[in-house]
Amino acid sequence: MKHQNSFVHDTGSLSKLTIHQLADRYANGALTCDGLLHDLSAAIRSRDRDQRQIRAYINFDSIRPIRREVPKASKLWGIPIAVKDNLCVAGEETTCGSKILKGFISPYHATVVEKLLNAGAVIFGRTNQDEFAFGSSCETSCYGPTRNPRDPERVPGGSSGGSAACVADHTAIAALGSDTGGSIRQPASFCGVVGMKPTYGRVSRYGLIAFASSLDQIGPITKDVRDNALFLNVIAGHDPKDSTSADVPVPDYSDFLGRSIQGMRIGIAAPVQTPILENAVKVLKSLGAKVEALSLPHIAYAVSVYYIVAPAEASSNLARFDGVRFGFRDKSAPSLLEMYEHTRGQGFGAEAKRRIILGTYSLSSGYYDAYYLHAMKVRTKIKNDFDAAFKKVDAILSPTAPSPAFKLGEKAASPLEMYLSDIYTIPANLAGVPALSVPGGTDHSTGGKDLPLGLQFIGKPFDEGTLYQLAYAFEQATDYHKRLGNVC
């Protein structure tokens, strides 16, 4: 389906291809890396240059390719990858979308960036995000908001909104995001692309500027499921530089694509019923899967738990940003204490301040037991719910988000409404299990525009392969990825 809006252009035909399509062209000599980068640059100049357009990138005037000389047979040779602004790239400014880190130049590559370069990928551009990944709309960045390629009056989701938007808008072939409570999957849902949050520990977090250390995971955002599997194979694996990295073998995820899902058991939390879910159940049953209701009694508390645990960890992690060692500093302050106060007051945005205050409060003397400790106990119960469910089913199915993309500014005045947009994604982070969002349908109730709706598959720890198996079967049996994966 073609969408008529101000971002529809013919520029950048190569940029509309997937990783595996480009790999085929490289293999038969029909494409050069410089030709692809030129085409991609033209697409970015055409669609991402000013505030009225998508603005998925924060550095579109200075994007430079970073690559290594590796064999052409490498897994991602010549594939440009956009990188979220909270991942370190040596020699480049890394700001997390925050004024307080303006001027900070990373001295090293994140492990995922190293792995991509070693696989032949080209690091090409930094993408916009909610400040320090605090948000679900990509509106809190110090660079201004990113817009949704499906409808420029709507948000792309957050916090990895820039990464999802540039993939959907064909100004990137694929992108790296991070997911603490849905920050890969919810933007993937809003923009009509594929987003994977791997199992906690599956992908190294070394070089990721932390939001909540027990929840953060890095993952791929792509145009289809095959690309996602190829991408994850490159960045997954144990890393001695990350103490939370799991030393668990990584299978070839591409081997799961095309396998039958006959007899696979899929669970649905009983209270969750939406049209796209009902349609997905029909599709999956037609492919031979068995769908059954299951109980996850404690996920009703997931949002409440998350907004105690995540801000508490964030307040601890962000304490290091004080104007002394990193980024922005108020040099006019007459004393050290005032320098701290002025730097943080001017450097952090409103949402970052809100979460730091919430987190500091819940960790403070007299409140730690009542809030943080209690939340951690409920988090354990949520994880136990998933463990019990996975003794009965192979995967769990749910919507990715409770609605399609909302309008810019629509939820800005109501933090609670904004927080609830992650109601379906947060539980997987609390439990540490993998979850994958794929285009699952469209919403027709928003002024005649077809807005994407995501479908979420949640799996057992380190069983991303099963999620790819299910998602690929669903993708091939429908055409949502073809209609929603292309804005042009």
Q: What is the pLDDT of residues 313-372, one digit of tens each?
A: 999 999 999 999 889 999 999 999 999 999 999 999 999 999 999 999 999 988 999 999
The token pair at 381 is 């119960």
CA distance 28 to 268: 44
For residue 388, tell me if it sits in a domain.
yes
For residue 414, tell me if it sits in a domain.
yes
- pLDDT of res. 50: 56
Q: What is the pLDDT of residues 131-177, one digit of tens each?
A: 999 999 999 999 999 999 999 999 999 999 999 999 999 999 999 99
Q: Is the pLDDT of residue 52 over 50?
A: yes
For residue 448, tell me if it sits in a domain.
yes
For residue 41, tell me if it sits in a domain.
yes
Higher pLDDT, 366 or 98: 98
Q: Which residues belong to the active site?
A: 84, 159, 183
**Domain span at residue 250?**
14-298+379-484
- pLDDT of res. 269: 84
User: Looking at the 3D structure of the chain, how many domains does it have?
Assistant: 1
For residue 173, tell me if it sits in a domain.
yes
For residue 311, tell me if it sits in a domain.
no
Kindly report the CATH number assigned to the domain that includes residue 439.
3.90.1300.10
**Full-prediction pTM beyond 0.75?**
yes
Total length of the chain: 488
Pairing of strands 217-222, 194-197: antiparallel
CA distance 267 to 299: 14
For residue 480, tell me if it sits in a domain.
yes
For residue 2, tell me if it sits in a domain.
no
CA distance 233 to 328: 37
Rounded-to-10 torsion of CA 384, 389, 395, 400: -60
- pLDDT of res. 488: 38
Pairing of strands 174-179, 122-127: unpaired
